Chain A
Amino acid sequence: MKFAVIQFPGSNCDQDCIRAINDLDGATADYVWHKDSSLAGFDAVVVPGGFSYGDYLRCGAIARFSPIMQAVTKAAAEGKLIIGICNGFQILCETRLLPGALVRNRDLHFICEHVHLRVERTDSAFTNKLTANSTLHVPIAHGEGCYFADDATLNELKAENRILLRYSDAQGNVTEAANPNGSKENIAGICNSTRNVFGLMPHPERACEARLGSTDGRGIFESMITAFSAQ
């Protein structure tokens, strides 16, 4: 399985993603520049974290119109797996591949810390190797990670079981105190209605080696490999 990791000017988690994926069995990863317009030969796409185009205007607002995002939109329509992490999540929302938007954290601060995530659903290409209601210990690093959507959209996400990860405490309780950024419904990660596009603010690629304090992020990439192999 071949992953494309998109590089925008200002991406800074691209190398982490390449390393994490190349370390997994059955997967390789390569960079794709934002000015490229083809994803031919790739089976899945990672839109990585960072500060694409300096976060000018709004996070992800300018990246949305880069040539490669047209190819990403086409790949999504073809059913390829797309994962957007942190700034990548913001870009997928701006591109309208995912509903809602990420706004300034409730307390205005940039937050860089490990959080706990409760696995809400395992019926997706991104969570099938995880255990329902278990918790993942994964870092977040963002200033604009507060997930916002209107009530109609939130109801749709819930009804279609598209909220895959929620911020929780270590025991898996989804509480306001465990919500680091003020996200609606403690949402940390959602997928689209066809369940092949996933966006999350936490960084699974930074939790793939024991020396980094956690390997809980590996399960997300391993789920993608499993889903792809089953196709």
Chain B
Amino acid sequence: MKVIVNVMPKPSVLDPQGAATAQAMKHLGLEGVGTVRVGKQIEIEIDEVDEAKLHEIARDLLSNPVIEDYEIIR
């Protein structure tokens, strides 16, 4: 199966990548652009899921809880 982990910067953390991307979108004529935030998505092919272990990995390796939030999707 495939498990997806989304990692996003916390709202309180400055996201200059998102701000620069928003600026570029406006420059290209996309109207009504508000805040843009850039995160990352990690796709994991896995046979079976140990739920607790997966959360541990998402928290300790895939994200840094000081600056990022994660969500697990499948």
- Interfacial residues, chain A to chain B (CB-CB below 8 A): 57-58, 61-62, 65, 93-94, 99-101, 103-108, 146, 148-150, 182
Contact = CB atoms under 8 A, between A and B. Distances in A.
Contacts, number: 37
Given A57-B61, A61-B61, A65-B61, A100 B16 contact: no
Contacts of A103: 9, 13-14, 67
Contact of A148 (B17, B20, B61, B66): B66
B20 A108 contact: yes
Interface string B55-66: 000000110101
Given A57-B61, A57-B62, A61-B61, A105 B67 contact: no
17 contacts: A57-B61, A58-B64, A61-B61, A61-B64, A65-B61, A99-B66, A100-B66, A101-B66, A101-B67, A103-B9, A103-B14, A103-B67, A104-B16, A108-B16, A108-B20, A146-B14, A150-B12
Interface residues of B, number: 12
A148 B13 CA distance: 7
A55 B14 CA distance: 20
Interface in B36-50: none
Contacts of B20: 108
Contacts of B64: 58, 61, 94, 101
Nearest to A62: B61
Contacts of B17: 104, 108
B14 A106 contact: yes
Nearest to B12: A150
Contacts of A99: 66
A68 to B, nearest CB: 17
